Amino acid sequence: MSKPLQGKRVLITRPQSQAENLAEQLRALGAEPLILPTIAILPPEDWHPVDEAIRSLERFDWVVFTSANGVRVFTGRMAETGVPRDVLAQRKLATIGPATARVLQEVCRAPDVIPEEFLSDALPDVLGDVQGLRILLPRADIARKEMAYELRRRGAEVVEIAVYRVQQEIEEAQEQIVQLPVPDFITLTSPSTVRSLAKMLEEAGRTAWLETVPLICIGPITADAVRELGYHPARVATEHTTQGLIQAILEEAMAHAHTNTNA
């Protein structure tokens, strides 16, 4: 029996450490994954703000994690500094999205709240009254500031700490990108992957991919980054997860098949 993505090449732009899970699921659907890491996740240049936050965890009312990377790095650093995870478990915990919640549950406990929309902009509404509360945001160095701004506007004291850095992988990918065949779909999972891929393709003389290959985005913020560069997302996942991204690819493939049938 033919699989729904049989023979389709799907470009994966996630960091190497996160690409294989998506690739494995795509192979199961018959696709040929093309892994091109556009960004790398690196430790912060300065651990002191992280260590200081970890040692004063008991002073925070909420800890909000916006990515699985944030959970892994933060709890890993807790172990290195000798602070038991029970201290984190005793705080109120929030995550953006089920993947981050799943990792948090694996290493500590399930979060108290997850917004129905898997977007950081939706989080302030689910925390309730934050007037006078202290909220810790362990996340990437390039994280958007809108959520922190909104929480402060509502009266919270917000401490943002960079627990990891996002670095573009431009030079490392140059030789690889020239050898890649043209994909049938390009997956984009963050604004960072969008900007980094665009720069890679520009330097490789392949910007036409962004104009002619369907761009499948994991969520609206990633889609906005595509539009800011002057391109158009073909489809945005309804559920902003890996499963939602795969579903969006399937829907786009089905739409193409239908168009070709009627051509």
pLDDT digits (tens, 9 = 90+) for 144-156: 888 999 999 999 9
Give the per-residue SS3 of the chain: CCCCCCCCEEEECCCHHHHHHHHHHHHHCCCEEEECCCEEEECCCCCHHHHHHHHCHHHCCEEEECCHHHHHHHHHHHHHHCCCHHHHHCCEEEECCHHHHHHHHHHCCCCCECCCCCCHHHHHHHCCCCCCCEEEEEEECCCCCHHHHHHHHCCCEEEEEEEEEEEECHHHHHHHHHHCCCCCEEEECCHHHHHHHHHHHHHHCCCHHHHHCCEEECCHHHHHHHHHCCCCCCEECCCCCHHHHHHHHHHHHHHHHHHHHHC
Q: Which two tokens stand for residue 143?
A: 């994280």
Q: What is the pLDDT of residues 69-124, one digit of tens each?
A: 999 999 999 999 999 999 999 999 999 888 899 999 999 999 999 988 777 778 89
- pLDDT at residue 260, rounded to an integer: 67
Confidence of residue 169 (pLDDT cuts 50, 70, 90): confident
Span between the terminal Cα atoms of the chain, in Å: 25
Determine the pLDDT at residue 16. 86
Residue 200's pLDDT is 92
| Higher per-residue pLDDT: 182 or 177 | 182
* Whole-angstrom distance, CA of residue 186 vs CA of residue 143: 23
Q: What's the whole-number mean pLDDT along residues 38-62?
A: 95
Give the pLDDT score at 263: 56
Tens of pLDDT along 29-44? 999 999 999 999 999 9
For residue 122, the model assigns a pLDDT of 83
Mean of the per-residue pLDDT values of the chain: 92
Sheet containing strand 92-95, edge to edge, reads 39-42, 157-168, 134-140, 62-65, 92-95
**Res 116: pLDDT:** 84
AA identity, residue 129:
D
Give the pLDDT score at 156.
Answer: 97
**Nearest Cα to Cα of residue 252 among 236, 231, 232:** 236
Using CB atoms within 10 Å of the CB of residue 142, give its burial: 0 to 12 exposed, 13 to 18 middle, 19+ buried.
middle
| 99 touches 68 (CB < 8 A) | yes
Per-residue model confidence (pLDDT) at position 120: 76
Predicted local confidence at residue 79, as pLDDT: 96
User: Which is nearest to 77 in space by CA: 168, 161, 133?
Assistant: 161
- pLDDT at residue 143, as a whole number: 85
- Give the Cα separation of 94 and 175 in Å (integer): 41
Residue labelled with tokens 């934050």? 130
Residues 219-230: what's their mean pLDDT? 94
Query: How high is the pLDDT of residue 28?
Result: 97
Tokens encoding 101: 């919640």
Per-residue pLDDT for 62 more than 80?
A: yes
Task: Write the single-letter amino acid at 184.
Answer: D
pLDDT at 168: 85
Q: In the structure encoding, which two tokens stand for residue 172, read together?
A: 């490392």
1 has a pLDDT exceeding 70: no
Average pLDDT over residues 198-223: 94
